[in-house]
Structure 1
Amino acid sequence: MTETPLDTGPRQSRQVARQQAITEAVMAEGTVRIEQLAERFDISVMTVHRDLDELEGRGLLRKSRGAATAMSTSLVESSDVYRTNRQTSEKEALALAALEFVEPGQAVMLDDSTTTLHLVPHLRSRRPLTVITNTLTIMDQLRGANGITLLGLGGQYFNWCSAFMGGITTSAIGALRADLFVMSTAAITDDVAFHQSLETNDVKRAMFESSTRRILIVDHTKFEKRALHALMPLSAFDAVIVDSATDRRDVARLRDKGVEVVVARSQRQVP
């Protein structure tokens, strides 16, 4: 039977719902075999592949050796949707520690990391501020906020991180000077910040160079991860904020190198 246009609405709705369920399942488990997804959702392997192709195109998941995965590798960063729900208590502690560096009247530059995103709701306590960012999520949270002047950096939009990057973005950053830059990174190797994406590195380096003070906020898992592209040594930052679960040997080594390391108090430690 020839399918009529009236049939496409319900079918599309089912597809959207199924892809949402697949996304949630993979993000919850990190990695799921394609055959398992086909069995779980009672669909063909071919349908799973089509769904994953679309989800991969949107930067949410990716296919890797017969599996769907949301986790990052040394070459590919995971989506901001996945990263947002990881190490949330540690990120909140890091954000509160970073807030101590923010003063009313400053121009503050924020990168596209989900760790920095935890700082955004607290910025209202430091008004007036000018906030400069390339991250659409931060723009959405701060638009219309009283006492906060929002400067949004445009450019090419990357769905996997909900941010604008590229030459247009770095050119705009180069024309600005911020008092403070707060950023995170995907991985730390040999006490150097690394990231999987050259575009991300270019934007963060431009922000770093356009700011007077630079603060790096990283949870302990970043010391266990790997990425391809070196950004800069941790010794280049004015302060590196880590969470309380960070290995004491990492903290001691950085301090021996002259790095100002701030260990954020966990929320359980706060009276």
Structure 2
Amino acid sequence: MGVANRLDVTLRLVQGGERVSVAELAGRLGVSEMTVRRDLDTLESRGLVRRVHGGAVANRPRNLDSGFAPRAEWQAATKERLGAAVAARIEPGSLVLLDAGTTTVHVAEHLAGRGPLTVVALSLQAAACLADRDGIELIVAGGRSRVGERSLVGPLTLRALESLAFDCFVMSIGGVHAEHGWSEFSLDDAAVKQAGLAQAATTIAVADATKLGVRAFSQVAPLGVVDTFVTDESAADTDTHPSGPRTLEALRDAEVEILFA
């Protein structure tokens, strides 16, 4: 697993628990404890985690960009391919619910050329990408902007989604696990995704391969509720992603279409 991939998973695992030990991270990532300590030092220097004796805890963001911005830089080329692959599946004329996340910003950039579309954006970053684009009718879901992520969450967001119907929900995800299904690191984000799943005719989930085998804090739904999963080809490589092939097999057993970008 490359350094950027490892930092991404490490950050997500720390965010998903009250406290994560160095030994636990080393076992999950298949690296030495020395490597984990070095990675935690890097994340702490960026203000994303706080080192404690024997492990780390999630740090409160210093500013609105401290959670989203560093992750946006990781695997940017991979996320660009994923974004293009997802957008190519969206038919012109569709009503689209676009989830929050670093990968779905790349989806938004490619959707701009797929109009006419009506897009309901669940993040301020995606909304900024789609604002004033020809052929795109942009609707920004109401709600609270979650600190560090700028994802829109809370009762107002849920109420807005419950009043709408979508041809397609493009769902980002924090973790996809063979036994535990789709999961997220934030209860608020998980609730929004559940509402989106309920209101969409079809769902395309998108995530890079680092999310395979990850069980995040809050379960969103079983694997079979998603129609299509778009990920990168390294998901099938046991050397870089030991849990990848097993997770992919579970997805196929649940009759989820898998596309590699």
**Alignment TM-score > 0.5, same fold:** yes
| Structure with the greater alpha carbon radius of gyration | 1
- Cα deviation code 1:156-175 (max 9, x no counterpart): 12121112210011001111
Displacement of 1:151 after TM fit? Answer: 0.4
> What does residue 61 of structure 1 align with?
48
Q: Residues 253 and 205 from structure 1, CA distance in 2 versus in 1: closer, same or farther, beyond 3 angstroms? A: closer
For normalisation by structure 2, the TM-score amounts to 0.72
Q: For structure 1, which runs of at least 5 residues remain unmatched after alignment? A: 1-28, 38-54, 72-77, 265-271
Q: Residues 120 and 70 from structure 1, CA distance in 2 versus in 1: closer, same or farther, beyond 3 angstroms? A: farther
Aligned-partner residue type, residue 210 of structure 1 = Q
> What does residue 169 of structure 2 align with?
181
Displacement of 1:253 after TM fit? Answer: 3.6
Aligned mate of 2:148, from 160, 184, 189: 160
Work out the CA distance in 1 between the residues paired with 2:42 and 2:90. Answer: 45
* Secondary structure in 2 matching 1:180: strand
Q: For structure 2, which runs of at least 5 residues remain unmatched after alignment? A: 1-37, 60-65, 237-244
> What does residue 254 of structure 2 align with?
257
Work out the CA distance in 2 between the residues paired with 1:256 and 1:142. Answer: 36
Aligned mate of 1:81, from 60, 64, 69: 69
Aligned-partner residue type, residue 218 of structure 1 = A
Aligned mate of 1:110, from 98, 107, 128: 98
Work out the CA distance in 2 between the residues paired with 1:256 and 1:168. Answer: 36
Matches within 5 A, 1:8-157: 30-32=39-41, 61-65=48-52, 79-157=67-145
Aligned mate of 1:214, from 193, 203, 206: 203
Aligned mate of 2:220, from 218, 231, 253: 231
- Cα deviation code 1:212-270 (max 9, x no counterpart): 11000121110143311111122111111121001244333422332211122xxxxxx
Alignment pair present for 1:244 and 2:233: yes
> What does residue 185 of structure 2 align with?
196
Backbone CA RMSD of aligned residues: 2.6
Work out the CA distance in 1 between the residues paired with 2:213 and 2:227. Answer: 23
For normalisation by structure 1, the TM-score amounts to 0.69
Work out the CA distance in 2 between the residues paired with 1:137 and 1:65. Answer: 32
Q: How many pairs align?
A: 208
